[in-house]
C-alpha cells in the first residue's frame, strides 16, 4: 500500500454527513464467580458501566475520532436517554440536528459482560412512528445539510427511519447536489436504496437480500454465487457498487460496471476480542477514504485495516487517526508480516491490558532504545517473560533517542527497531513512546511487573511507581560484554584503522 501521509493531512478539511438510527449503548462490566442460589444463572459482580453512542452514533463517533468534520441528522425520544445522546454527540465534536419526539422512547441496548463474554443483552426499543408528518421539516434540514458536505453516509439499523419514501428523499437530494451516497443496509428489500453509490451488507445480510446461500469456504461456487447475487441487486435495485464484509473471511467488492470482476481482500484482524461495532468502523473509514479521493480498492484497504484494529478492542469501539496511520504505515513497510500486528498504539495497548487483566493474566513491562539488537537484549527479554503472561516492550521513538543519545542516533529508525523486537518470541506487544522515560507509559498501562537489567529501585522511578500500586519490580541480571554503545565504539575504531 502506498504512503498517504499527504492525504491524511487533509482529513480535518473533509465534511461527512451521517444519517441513521441512533441509540444509546450501555456496557455493564463485571466478574462471574458463582451461580445464583435462586436460579441456575450466573451472578455478575458489577465493576463499572460505560455509556456510548450506538447504531449510527458509533459511525459518527468513529468519524469524529478520525478527525474529520462530522454532521449528523437523526431522531430520538424527548427523554433522559435522548439527552444523554445529545451530550455524547457534543462530546464527539459533532454538528448535529436531533428531532426529539414526545411519543417515542430513545433506543437503549445494555450489554452485560464478564471478562470478554457477553452473557446478556437487554434491548429497550420501539419502532419509530410514521414519518409522514415530519417529512416537510426533515426535508428542509436535509437540503441545508447535504449541499454543504463532501459525502453522505446512511446507517440503517431497521428501526423505522429508512422507509422507501424517506430513503429516496435522501438519495435524490444527494443526487441533486452531486454527492456520493454510501449505505450500511438492513432488511431484505434493497429497492429503497435505489441510486446509492455503494451498499455495504455483511455476508448474512447479502444472503438475506439476494435469497442465495453462500459459503466462503466453498471455493468451487463461492465467486459465482456472489456474482449472481450482486447482479440481482444491480438489476432489481439500481445500486452502483456492492461491498460485502465477511468477518474472518475478509471483505470483497463488485461493481455494476464490471459485474464479472470480484476484488477480495483477506481479513486484517490479529485477535478478535469483540466484533461489536466493527461494521460501523468499516463503513466510516471507507467513506472517509472515498471523501479524501482514494480509489475504491485503497479505500477498502483502509477500511479493512481499521476493522482489524477495532475487533481487538472490547465493546463498541472507535479507531483513532493515530491507530489508522500506524496500521497503514506498518502494512506498507512490513508487507503484512506476521509480527507487525504486535506493534500497537498506547490506546490499543490499554484495551489489551484491561482485557487480559480481567482474565487474570500477569502483565509485564520493560523498555529501551534497542538500537542494535544483541544477545544481551535477547537475554533480558527471556528473563522478563519468565515473570509474566504477557510482555509489553516500550521503545523510544526516533525523536526520543536523539534527545537521549545525540543527533548521530538512532542508527536504525523506530519502525525497524520495533519490527525486530516484535519478531521475538518472548515479546507479546511493542509500544513506541516519545517521552524521555517510560514513566507516562507505566502510568497508563499499570503493568503488574516491571523488569529491566542494571537498575536499582531507588534510582528507577518507573519501578517505584509500579511498586506503589502493588506491582513488582525486578532487576534482571546483566549479560556482561554486550551493549549498543560498545558496538558503536568498536565500529568507530574499525573505521579509523
H or E, element range at 399: helix 398-405
Give just the sign of the alpha carbon dihedral 285, 288, 294, 295: positive
User: Does pTM top 0.85 for this prediction?
Assistant: no
* Inter-residue contact 279 to 184 (CB < 8 Å): yes
Q: Would you call 412 helix, strand, or coil by DSSP?
A: coil
Task: Give CA–CA dist 323/308, Å, rounded.
Answer: 11
pLDDT value for 306: 84
CB burial of residue 368 (10 Å; 0-12, 13-18, 19+) = middle
The CA distances from residue 300 to 6, 129, 262, 297, in Å, are: 19, 36, 13, 5
Give CATH for domain 5-336: 3.40.1190.20
* Inter-residue contact 474 to 387 (CB < 8 Å): yes
State the DSSP string of 214-232.
--TT-TTTHHHHHHHHHHH
Q: Would you call 29 helix, strand, or coil by DSSP?
A: strand
Q: Characterise 254 by phi-psi region: left (phi > 0), alpha (psi -120 to 50), beta (else).
A: beta
E strand segments, 290-421: 363-368, 390-396
pLDDT value for 77: 95
What values do phi and psi take at 288, rounded to 5? -60, -45
Q: Cell match 532487576: residue?
A: 475
Residue 16: count of CB within 10 angstroms of its CB? 25
Q: Cell match 490499543: residue?
A: 348
pLDDT value for 428: 92
What values do phi and psi take at 129, rounded to 5? -60, 160
Q: Give the residues across from 35 on adjacent strands.
A: 42
What values do phi and psi take at 119, rounded to 5? -100, -15
The three cell numbers locating residue 276: 461489536
User: Please, where are the H alpha helices in 177-221?
Assistant: 203-210
The three cell numbers locating residue 377: 537484549
Task: Give CA–CA dist 210/230, Å, rounded.
Answer: 8
Residue 38: count of CB within 10 angstroms of its CB? 7
266 alpha-carbon distance from chain centroid: 17
* Inter-residue contact 466 to 449 (CB < 8 Å): yes
State the DSSP string of 296-331.
HHHHHHHHHHHHHHHTTSSSS----HHHHHHHHHHH
Indicate the pairing of strand 251-255 with strand 15-20: unpaired
The three cell numbers locating residue 207: 444472503
Write out the catalytic residue numbers. Answer: 280
pLDDT value for 1: 41
What values do phi and psi take at 16, rounded to 5? -120, 135
CB burial of residue 487 (10 Å; 0-12, 13-18, 19+) = middle
Give CATH for domain 346-495: 3.40.50.620
The DSSP secondary-structure symbol of 171 reads H
pLDDT value for 311: 67
pLDDT value for 274: 40
Among 295, 97, 65, residue whose Cα is nearest residue 180:
295
From first to last of the 497 residues of the chain, give the pLDDT tens digit.
Answer: 444 556 777 898 999 999 999 999 999 999 999 999 999 999 999 999 999 999 999 999 999 989 999 999 999 999 999 999 999 999 999 999 999 999 899 999 999 999 878 899 999 998 888 777 788 888 999 999 999 999 999 999 999 899 999 999 999 999 999 999 999 999 999 999 999 999 999 999 999 999 999 988 877 788 899 999 999 999 999 999 999 998 778 889 999 999 999 988 876 644 444 444 578 889 999 999 999 999 998 899 888 888 877 765 544 467 878 788 777 766 654 443 445 568 888 887 888 898 788 878 999 999 999 988 888 899 999 999 999 999 999 999 999 999 998 888 888 888 889 989 998 999 999 999 999 999 999 999 999 999 998 788 888 999 999 999 999 999 998 876 556 556 656 665 666 54
Q: Is there a cis peptide before residue 329, judged by omega within 30 degrees of 0?
A: no
Q: Cell match 452473557: residue?
A: 119
Give just the sign of the alpha carbon dihedral 177, 178, 184, 189: positive
Among 270, 251, 273, 272, residue whose Cα is nearest residue 262:
251
287 alpha-carbon distance from chain centroid: 15
Sequence spans of domains, the chain: 5-336, 346-495
Amino acid at each position: 500500500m502506498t504512503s498517504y501521509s499527504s492525504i491524511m493531512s487533509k482529513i480535518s478539511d473533509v465534511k461527512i454527513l451521517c444519517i441513521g438510527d441512533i441509540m444509546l449503548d450501555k456496557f455493564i462490566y463485571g466478574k462471574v464467580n458463582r451461580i445464583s442460589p435462586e436460579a441456575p444463572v450466573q451472578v455478575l459482580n458489577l465493576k463499572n458501566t460505560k455509556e456510548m453512542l450506538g447504531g449510527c452514533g458509533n459511525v459518527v463517533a468513529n468519524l469524529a475520532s478520525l478527525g474529520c468534520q462530522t454532521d449528523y441528522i437523526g431522531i430520538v425520544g424527548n427523554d433522559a436517554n435522548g439527552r444523554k445522546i445529545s451530550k455524547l454527540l457534543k462530546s464527539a465534536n459533532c454538528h448535529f440536528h436531533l428531532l426529539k419526539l414526545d411519543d417515542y422512547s430513545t433506543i437503549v441496548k445494555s450489554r452485560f459482560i464478564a471478562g470478554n463474554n457477553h452473557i446478556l443483552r437487554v434491548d429497550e426499543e420501539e419502532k419509530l412512528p410514521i414519518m409522514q408528518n415530519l417529512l416537510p421539516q426533515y426535508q428542509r434540514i436535509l437540503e441545508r445539510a447535504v449541499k454543504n458536505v463532501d459525502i453522505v453516509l446512511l446507517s440503517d439499523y431497521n428501526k423505522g427511519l429508512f422507509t422507501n419514501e424517506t430513503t429516496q428523499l435522501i438519495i435524490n437530494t444527494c443526487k441533486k447536489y452531486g454527492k456520493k451516497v454510501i449505505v450500511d443496509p438492513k432488511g431484505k428489500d434493497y429497492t429503497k436504496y435505489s441510486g446509492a453509490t455503494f451498499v455495504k451488507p455483511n455476508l448474512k445480510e447479502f444472503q438475506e437480500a439476494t435469497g442465495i446461500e453462500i459459503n466462503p469456504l466453498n471455493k468451487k461456487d463461492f465467486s459465482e454465487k456472489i456474482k449472481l447475487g450482486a447482479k440481482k441487486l444491480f438489476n432489481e435495485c439500481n445500486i452502483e457498487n456492492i461491498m460485502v464484509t465477511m468477518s474472518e473471511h475478509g471483505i470483497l467488492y463488485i461493481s455494476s460496471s464490471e459485474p464479472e470482476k470480484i476484488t477480495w481482500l483477506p481479513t486484517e484482524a490479529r485477535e478478535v476480542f469483540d466484533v461489536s461495532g466493527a461494521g460501523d468502523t468499516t463503513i466510516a473509514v471507507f467513506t472517509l477514504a472515498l471523501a479524501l479521493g482514494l480509489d475504491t480498492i485503497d479505500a477498502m484497504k483502509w477500511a479493512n485495516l481499521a476493522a482489524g484494529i477495532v475487533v481487538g478492542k472490547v465493546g463498541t469501539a472507535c479507531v483513532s487517526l493515530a491507530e489508522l496511520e500506524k496500521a497503514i504505515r506498518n502494512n506498507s513497510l512490513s508487507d503484512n508480516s506476521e509480527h507487525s500486528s504486535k506493534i500497537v498504539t498506547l490506546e490499543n495497548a490499554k484495551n489489551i491490558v484491561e482485557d487480559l487483566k480481567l482474565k487474570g493474566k500477569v502483565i509485564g513491562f520493560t523498555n529501551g532504545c534497542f538500537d542494535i539488537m544483541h544477545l544481551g537484549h535477547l537475554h533480558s527479554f527471556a528473563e522478563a517473560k519468565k515473570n509474566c503472561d504477557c510482555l509489553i516492550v516500550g521503545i523510544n521513538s526516533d525523536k526520543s533517542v536523539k534527545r537521549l543519545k545525540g543527533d548521530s542516533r538512532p542508527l536504525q529508525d523506530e519502525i525497524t527497531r520495533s519490527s525486530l523486537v516484535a519478531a521475538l518470541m518472548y515479546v507479546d506487544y511493542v509500544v513506541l513512546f516519545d517521552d524521555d522515560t517510560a514513566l507516562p507509559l507505566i502510568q497508563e498501562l499499570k503493568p503488574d511487573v516491571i523488569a529491566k537489567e542494571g537498575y536499582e529501585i531507588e534510582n528507577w522511578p518507573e519501578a517505584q511507581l509500579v511498586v506503589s500500586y502493588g506491582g513488582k519490580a525486578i532487576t534482571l541480571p546483566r549479560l556482561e560484554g554486550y551493549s549498543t554503545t560498545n558496538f558503536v565504539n568498536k565500529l568507530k575504531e574499525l573505521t579509523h584503522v
